[in-house]
Chain A
């Protein structure tokens, strides 16, 4: 017998530390990312609830002040259309529910659709999902598991919101029962749940992540518009049941809880999720149900340089924003007259805290235009983020060795962004005027176009700060731009419904939206606007110079 024939003992099977059973790995991988994001947003929700609840008794100290507040917003159709109805403003609970519910509902919906499309369609686009699918699973099971993972994210969000809500309810000046606080947290988690499911469905339909998010965002936009009409006091309140956002509103947490409204929410979520899983099983990996034209005739008109390329790349997104801004402006114009009619002398003063001066449709539009300013802020932050992703994903390399100087490339992108912002502002004004004029509101065309242009400077500041981050801290470009936007909005909402004082004023000054005059309620402050544009341009110039000097950084 030679040595080679000696029996060698079989090697012991190698033990690999398991990342979960093979059948749950998709759920775990998705859950890990969803929980991280849910924790961040649960914290933000909790802080918003807490700050709102504890500021009320400190600002509205007397019963008279609380009655005046209730008299103003309790029957105000403009704020009702924007933020939902406002019953029981004389109480902390009623005020908190009114002040932050709609903000949380919208934030929750955006979180849900972005998280879901990112973790489903996005993971599929970049090929990581395929690796998981080659494990011991099927497409349907993997989709169901991914949905469970997303569920873990929303449970985290709900749990953190609950902790804050129950905690602040214990405060002697707030006094909200634990049961109501928990139900409120549940209501605030309802939109995220529904839009996680909607995002899961559009992830099956759309050919790319971006389109999946766009489909879901369009669904959200339609929903908000339907809800807005239902709450605008034009005799169509029944429409509230046609909108998932309306169901959440009908839960009436903190004020008069109606758990029955959870039924349509649960049914909708389950149905949409089930359809998403069925579609995931039926379709091929990497392609959506909606046809994606893989071949196309060349359209070369714009592709003669970097500016044309920038236009071609951002056009679909920018047009979608323009449509959203135009429709929102139109709706504001339509409701301005009837909403303005409910304002009377003393309530007008309270509305003035939100920036509106005087009474009538001008005052209402002055408040409403804040929403349009926020939409334009999103356009600005989105444009800077898009520029960074060209660098992060390595496409910029092909242009700068093209040869295109970095200044020229960035300048072209910023010029396109500036046009997108300016046109967005003008559209806001023009469509608000169309709405207002159709109701014979008597607000002039020039006034509203001015008010529309007045929305542009804060967006320029947000974009400029974003470019500064792009030049100096490129991997955080998007975060910085959206944080400036989110912070500005938060401060102006808290400050607007809140009182005054040095601390509040100092905080308010950090908001770009606070620096903008509430046109058309008051005339635009063109000097302040000039300063904001100058700050934006200066930040962009510093950011551009830093970008020109630094190393290109891909992800």
Chain B
């Protein structure tokens, strides 16, 4: 087996003047589960469509298990299975017919595992695709990909439309895939899903990969959240080195601290602190921090920031979908 499952070198896709993906360098090892995060239009789907050879890069190249994605797409496809976020299937076929067709097209199917998945995802395969809900159509393409036991699973927002029970079934299936040594490339909006499943996380912003690493590494680079309660007046923390995003609420103060915590602790100790909590940022906070919001500053502001980002990327986003 090659020692790299996915390799991208300077991978770039431009639509007109807009870079939907800008010089992506990425290596994914076999057996790794990698999370790929970014807001709408950041270039996630563009990356996946480039890896699948559905679109051609404006620059750079990509390989899957050492085979060029552009020159030999069919050869790379033999070792991967793909799940898209929009389950566009043939409305006149039933679920069973669709699974049969996609299995025959792919060439390898673990029939026993397929039946197990049909039961696990509680799918009625006798129904026509036309009659399925969105979530049920999503189940069909998930099962179709998982049943191949392909060496690489490329998943583009695979759980859109699934209920929490099915989300759990999905996580179980991905853990099984990892245990079997399959590589998983998981692009997702659901941060808890990525946090639960992925060994490494890449964060994409405006077509550029801005962060990549294990969650521990990313946390290390990021700020610590501190909450302190005082018995008297709250101190002014604005001048303390490393401290940011200070928010006071009565006798409680919340802030973020980056780098050494000594200066902050000294101020707190002198101010009659009665309770002190500190914790590492969640992936959600890391993600939001990437997009220019201070950690944990009211959800309204967070949403505003995300929308802005989405707005800037609208053009790229449209092409993304195309």
Interface residues of A (CB under 8 A from B): 207-208, 292-300, 303-306, 309, 312-313, 393-395, 397-405, 549-554
Contacts and interface: CB of A to CB of B under 8 A. Distances in A.
B105 interface: yes
Contacts of B75: 403
Contacts of A398: 82, 84, 88-89, 102, 105, 141, 144
A405 B74 contact: yes
Interface string B58-87: 000000000000000111111011101010
Interface of B: 49, 52-56, 73-78, 80-82, 84, 86, 88-94, 96-97, 100-102, 104-107, 124-128, 130-131, 141, 144, 154, 321-322
A408 to B, nearest CB: 8
Which 6 pairs show the lowest CB-CB distances between chains A and B?
A403-B77, A394-B88, A294-B131, A551-B55, A402-B105, A303-B101
12 contacts: A295-B126, A295-B127, A298-B94, A303-B93, A303-B97, A312-B93, A394-B88, A401-B77, A402-B102, A403-B75, A405-B74, A552-B54
Given A295-B127, A552-B55, A554-B322, A402 B92 contact: no
Contacts of B106: 402-403
Contacts of A295: 94, 124, 126-128, 131
B321 A554 contact: yes
| Dominant secondary structure at the A interface | loop
A545 to B, nearest CB: 14
B126 A309 contact: no
Contact of B77 (A296, A394, A395, A402): A402
Contacts of B130: 207-208, 292, 294
Contacts of B131: 292, 294-295
By CB atoms of chain A within 10 A, which of B73, B86, B94, B101 has the most? B101
B89 A551 contact: no
A313 B91 CA distance: 10
A300 B73 contact: no
Contacts of A403: 73-78, 105-107
B52 A401 contact: yes
Contacts of A400: 52-54, 73, 77
| Dominant secondary structure at the B interface | mixed
B43 to A, nearest CB: 15
A397 B96 contact: no
A309 B101 contact: yes
B96 A298 contact: yes
A317 B195 CA distance: 48
A488 B127 CA distance: 44
A402 B83 CA distance: 11
Given A401-B52, A402-B106, A554-B321, A298 B88 contact: no
B49 to A, nearest CB: 8
A234 to B, nearest CB: 41
B55 A300 contact: no
Contacts of B80: 401
Contacts of B84: 394, 397-398
Contacts of B92: 312-313
Nearest to B78: A403
Contacts of B88: 393-395, 397-398
A303 B105 CA distance: 9
A549 B56 contact: yes
Contacts of B144: 398
Contacts of A296: 94, 126, 128
B105 A305 contact: yes
Contacts of A313: 90, 92
A550 B56 CA distance: 7
A300 to B, nearest CB: 5
A410 B297 CA distance: 53
A270 B312 CA distance: 51
Given A298-B96, A303-B100, A403-B106, A397 B127 contact: no
Contacts of B322: 551, 553-554
Contacts of A404: 74, 105
Given A400-B73, A553-B322, A297 B126 contact: yes
A551 B128 CA distance: 30
Contacts of B124: 295
A551 B86 contact: no
A62 B95 CA distance: 70
A306 B105 contact: yes
A472 to B, nearest CB: 15
A400 B127 CA distance: 25
Nearest to B144: A398
A546 to B, nearest CB: 12
Given A402-B77, A552-B55, A553-B322, A298 B127 contact: no
B76 to A, nearest CB: 8
A293 B91 CA distance: 12
Contacts of B76: 403
Given A303-B101, A401-B80, A552-B55, A294 B90 contact: no
A303 B126 contact: no
A305 B54 contact: no
Contacts of B154: 401
A300 B100 contact: yes
A551 B57 CA distance: 9
Contacts of B141: 398
B128 A293 contact: yes
B21 to A, nearest CB: 13
Nearest to B77: A403
